[in-house]
Structure 1
């Protein structure tokens, strides 16, 4: 029987992840195979994130937080911290690999060419999903998770602010449930995507140049987005 990893390398990206998600809690005999898929997936995600992050300033993008770069790749210290987190709480493999290979991402900000607003006008008057909410990709890193666990027992990790917060409005978070080792993490609280998998969310995000909210109204997407978009290879 061909491994999931072997099939993934042959290009069966969506099929492999759909089957892994359907397994629920991972049987011990499949853990190594599924972990290899998660690692390869997030290495590729990290490469796409780095590409988009490098291109954003050329479009006039300005971070909503001057102290936060669009992408902070993981370091050796991050990986050591992930090792300790794995012993503290059950992490879905896709989340663990994301912490190890993608790191912190923060595409929230202002960019006229991308119709992206945070400090600038206009202020959205509708609710997400929709053209007022490009949903810029944001991901917390291992230090964010460690902080939440140090604050007290947690059954979920606030991986990112939600669409409202990314538009500088009062809102909530996009959360990943903790405590169970599955192949893929559920991402809760994403408008229009009920209990979407982390991998699927990232696939849509990369396909839309880091702004997956435009997938709901593609006909209104800014022309400049074409320079950031691609067909995901994961």
Structure 2
């Protein structure tokens, strides 16, 4: 279904309602998976790299009201991103966990570059308030590159960049730029890969080296 929606380019008006419904259902399911992982991580001894940020902060009514205004201010959000802001919210799986081989704040920094086993790429997503903040930094008339998440380097406590989406867009899905080893990957594709790997899709590049505890988090995505 998503391949067909992406092939449309800008979504025609007569298909907009159906395409939006697909995006909504997709992100409802993503949110359910994220909630499961967020509850399981602390049980494995995971500790957030930012003690002020919970692993998952679902959207509130105020988030959704803000999204309504952002759609107008940006000039169009891709359906996948809009639904993600409305149903998934903020996600922050970056941190340390011995059982998951996450020791970025305890041991010497990796000397390799992503992708690879030193960079599990824990799932992180900004919410509507992150997008609103980025809008405030723009000069009038500029297009927006929205840093949806830190990149693999920054998640590993190194100097790096971001995973970005370029706005405005009237497409069903949107390319997520800056993901190491995954040129052209879209938001939905990235979330599918991330959920399949228990929130740590970087292990897909070296599956034979993945920690045994990751088995308890992995699943077959239903979206």
User: Under a length normalisation based on structure 2, what TM-score does the superposition of the two structures give?
Assistant: 0.97
Q: Which residue of 1 aligns with 2:149?
A: 160
Q: Which of these residues, 172, 179, 188, is aligned with residue 199 of structure 1?
A: 188
Q: 1:79 aligns with which of 61, 64, 69?
A: 64
SS for the counterpart of 1:158 is: strand
Instruction: Note the alpha carbon deviations across 1:94-144, whole angstroms, 9 max, x for none.
Output: 000000000000000000000112311142110000000000000000000
- Could you say which residue in structure 2 is the equivalent of 1:117? 103
Runs of 4+ in 1 over 3 A off after TM superposition: none
Alignment correspondent of 1:13 = none
Q: 2:19 aligns with which of 26, 29, 34?
A: 34
Aligned to 2:173: 184
TM-score, normalization by structure 1: 0.92
Contact 2:135 2:144 in 1 (8 A): no
Root-mean-square deviation (Å): 0.8
Alignment coverage as a number of residue pairs: 219
**Structure 2 segments unaligned to the other structure (5+ residues):** none
Select the residue among 128, 145, 150 that pairs with 1:142.
Answer: 128
Residue correspondence of structure 1 range 48-63 to structure 2 within 5 A: 48-63=33-48
Following superposition, the deviation at residue 154 of structure 1 comes to 4.0
Q: Counterparts of 1:201 and 1:194 in 2: how far apart (Å)?
A: 11
The residue aligned with 1:10 is none
Q: Could you tell me how far apart the structure 1 residues matched to 2:120 and 2:208 are?
A: 13
Determine helix, strand or coil for the equivalent of 1:177: strand
